[in-house]
Structure 1
Amino acid sequence: MSTSLILPLVLIIAMLFFMSRNQKKQRARQEEMKNNLKSGAHVVTIGGMHAVVESVDTEKQTVDLNAEGVILTFDLTAIRTVKAVETTQAAPAAATDDSTAPKEVSESTTDSQSTATQTESEK
């Protein structure tokens, strides 16, 4: 075998190795997500529907979702993501706390500052 064929062959083998490794990691993450799916979790399906898990049937590989009072049954593979549940106490506190809110800057102040910066850079 000539040296001109060895390098492309090594690159192809390395590319296949890394692609299979990434797919294996992704499959493991998906399997872990399905195994940790519990009743009450907020999920998003592959169709983009946001719902709450009512029950999980591991034998049939299905999940019952409650979407605003409508119970629907999906395959476990139809769950794209499990959303993090937000705490209800933290949200009102953040909404009423104005001390951490960013201060508004008027456009005239920003324009005068940028003009001053341009003038200094021209000197």
Structure 2
Amino acid sequence: MQLLAVPMASSGGSGFTLLLPLILIVGMIWFMSRTQRKQRDRQAKTVASLSPGTKVITTSGLVGIVEETDDEYVTLEISEGVLVQVVKAAVGRVIPDEDAEATDADSVDKAEDEPAGDLKDPVDVPDAGKDKADGKVQDAPKLPPTHTEN
């Protein structure tokens, strides 16, 4: 009996094929850690900028106004005369002032009041929200009864 040696087929480029998944995994870990680092930096800036009178929401959903800050703790007024002391890391986000929001809303309202020069007259669509012949607004269609009536 005679044995013949047959060479096995090589996959070609096996070194790169083995390194590709490893490179992808390292890249994903680097990207995720970079994203988490940015979130931590943003949280640290938020906590560092706390001052009395700032309205905040904690990570547990508690809304309050900062009364005083310490190295580790923030004292919040959650209701008239009710003070709560929480860890600075528990501050989730700062709520923007209502005055700033009001001025932004006023500028939007003024922009809506001014007519734009390039707008045409509104298009009249037939039977869109029109009244019925008897002068009443059409109600939503009634569904048929789900049981037999005697």
TM-score w.r.t. length of structure 2: 0.58
What secondary structure sits across from 1:14 in the alignment? helix
Aligned amino acid, residue 92 of structure 2? R
Distance in 2 (CA, whole Å) between partners of 1:99 and 1:53 is: 35
1:1-123 pair list within 5 angstroms: 2-58=15-71, 61-69=72-80, 70-87=82-99, 90=102, 94=106, 100=112, 109=128
Higher radius of gyration, 1 or 2: 2
CA separation in 2, counterparts of 1:89 and 1:22?
29
What is the deviation of 1:22?
0.6
* TM-aligned CA distance change 1:6 to 1:75, over 3 Å: same
Query: What percent identity do the matched residue pairs reach?
Result: 34
What is the number of residues matched between the two proteins?
Answer: 101
Q: Which has the higher contact order (CA 8 A, sep 6+)?
A: 1
**Aligned CA-pair RMSD:** 2.9
Distance 2:37 2:100 in 1: 37
Q: Which ranges of structure 1 fall in alignment gaps of 5 or more residues? A: 102-107, 112-123
Moved over 3 A (4+): 88-91, 97-101
Higher strand share: 1
Deviations 1:13-59 (A, max 9, x none): 1101101111111111111111111110000011111110000002x
Q: How much has 1:109 moved relative to structure 2?
A: 1.5
Q: Which has the higher helix share?
A: 1
Counterpart Cα distance in 1 of 2:49 and 2:35: 21
Write the distance in 1 (CA, Å) between the matches of 2:44 and 2:110.
Answer: 42
